[in-house]
Amino acid sequence: MHLNISEFLEEQKRGLGEMVENFRKTRVAAARNAARESAARIKSLNERVRALSRSGLRLTAVSHGAAQSLIELQADIVGSALTDAAAQIERMAYTESVKDLARMQAEVLQGARERIVADIARTVGVLKDAAGDARKAVARRAPAAAAAPRRKKAPVRRRAKVAARTKVAPRAKAPAKRAKRRSARR
């Protein structure tokens, strides 16, 4: 009987040893597989990082171009304002009456107003161009992003809207509006 128990224990020992060995092998295989998959994911990130850095470089170029245009525009604005101011002061120096001085001052104000409007229009043009260039720089990446499936919005429940509408009494709004109008008139 002692022999049977020893054989049984030896057999159980071998079985457990095989199970431990199989468990080790499967754990090692699972770890290797996970490592391979992780490496593949990291490698796939390289292209995304490169695309992102290229996009950043394009946006940097756009922002530098816009800044350069705005600086040149500012120099232009300041230069023309100083030139106009010098010319106006020179003309004022040769005026003979206060009436002529007042007329010239009105012309100066009109010219300044027109110059400011033109300068704002030029500034807006520069900014619009920069915005368009920025959209183009980012749009190059958009087709890859468009390939990803988009989630649909959850349907809106109409019951909630209907319930919200019925909660407010329609007559309560009218006196509030009248009171608001009265306070606005005063």
Instruction: Give pLDDT tens digits for 20-45.
Output: 777 777 887 888 888 888 888 888 88
Structure tokens at 101: 């001085």
Tell whether the model's pLDDT for residue 109 goes beyond 50: yes
Which residue has 């998959």 as its token pair?
37
What are the phi and psi torsion angles at 147 (to 5°)? -70, -25
Tell whether the model's pLDDT for residue 179 goes beyond 70: no
The mean pLDDT value of the chain amounts to 78
pLDDT for 89 equals 86
94: confidence class by pLDDT, cuts 50, 70, 90:
confident
Per-residue pLDDT of 140-176, as tens digits, reads 654 544 454 455 555 555 554 544 455 545 555 556 6
Using alpha carbons, list the distances in angstroms from residue 72 to 65, 79, 99, 126, 152.
11, 10, 38, 11, 47
**Mean pLDDT within 6-15:** 78
Q: How many CB atoms lie within 10 A of CB 137?
A: 19
Contacts of 86 (CB under 8 A, 6+ apart): none
Per-residue pLDDT of 112-147, as tens digits, reads 899 999 999 999 999 999 999 989 888 765 454 445
* Nearest by Cα to 76 from 145, 122, 39: 122
CA angle 123/81/75 to nearest 5° reads 50
pLDDT for 15 equals 80
CA distance linking residue 125 with residue 154, whole number of Å: 40
**Mean pLDDT within 36-60:** 87
